[in-house]
Amino acid sequence: MPEPETTGLLAMPPRLPPWLSRAMEPLPLAPLQPALALMLACVGRSYPDLYDRLGEHAEKRFGVDPTDLPLAFVLEPRPGRPVARAVRTLPAGLDTCIRGPLAGLIGMAEGTLDGDALFFSRVLWVEGDVAASLALRNAIDDARIDFGKLLLGGFGPLGARLAEFIRVRMRARPVAGGSSWN
């Protein structure tokens, strides 16, 4: 019989190189804000089912913290009056916060990485209202949004290149073998 082959799955997102994070540190956040607002309005119009899935959680305040970027995002999906803004550090009083490397967050949002697998491997972590985070994850997973382009589009050509860079890097990572319990 032929030898068995391994059918691997990609699961471990890479972290952005520190130099890239440092290079982004001086960039002002102000130009990003209108782009984020536009992005969120666009998402709201294009994916109305997303609010249906979020249900009561659409009124919650979400923090999204890419741990390898020198900025974070505050998201308030509220139907009809959504708010998204970039911040240097997340403010207190958010309902829930999702932390992880940018590639992991984008991969999960785009449906190329599994959120539970990222959680099991401790790549991604949730604080606060876990139900709200779960609802957001499921709603976005179903919506099939090109989140990388939307999220980083505010940085113009640099953002688009960054999104593509992350996407290529994510595809390139083979999975590490796990242990067998019995």
Which of these segments, 73-81, 120-128, 150-158, 159-167, binds another protein (CB under 8 A)? 120-128
Binding mask 36-55 for another protein (x = CB under 8 A): ----------------xxxx
Looking only at Cα atoms, what is the longest distance across the chain? 62
> Considering only residues 76, 87, 138, 165, which one is a binding residue for another protein as defined by CB under 8 A?
138
Q: Of 93, 91, 76, whose CA–CA distance to 136 is shortest?
A: 76
β partners of residue 127: 97
Cα 76 from chain centre: 15
Site residue total, another protein (CB under 8 A): 56
Distance CA(2)–CA(150), nearest Å, equals 46
Q: CB of residue 50 vs another protein: minimum separation in angstroms?
A: 9
Query: Of 76 and 141, which has the nearer Cβ to another protein?
Result: 141
In degrees rounded to 5, what are phi and psi of residue 26? -75, -15
Binding of residue 166 to another protein (CB under 8 A): no
Distance CA(65)–CA(70), nearest Å, equals 9
Q: CB of residue 156 vs another protein: minimum separation in angstroms?
A: 29
Query: Of 91 and 174, which has the nearer Cβ to another protein?
Result: 174
Q: CB of residue 94 vs another protein: minimum separation in angstroms?
A: 14
Query: Of 70 and 111, which has the nearer Cβ to another protein?
Result: 111
Geometric angle at alpha carbon 80, from 59 and 138, rounded to 5°: 50
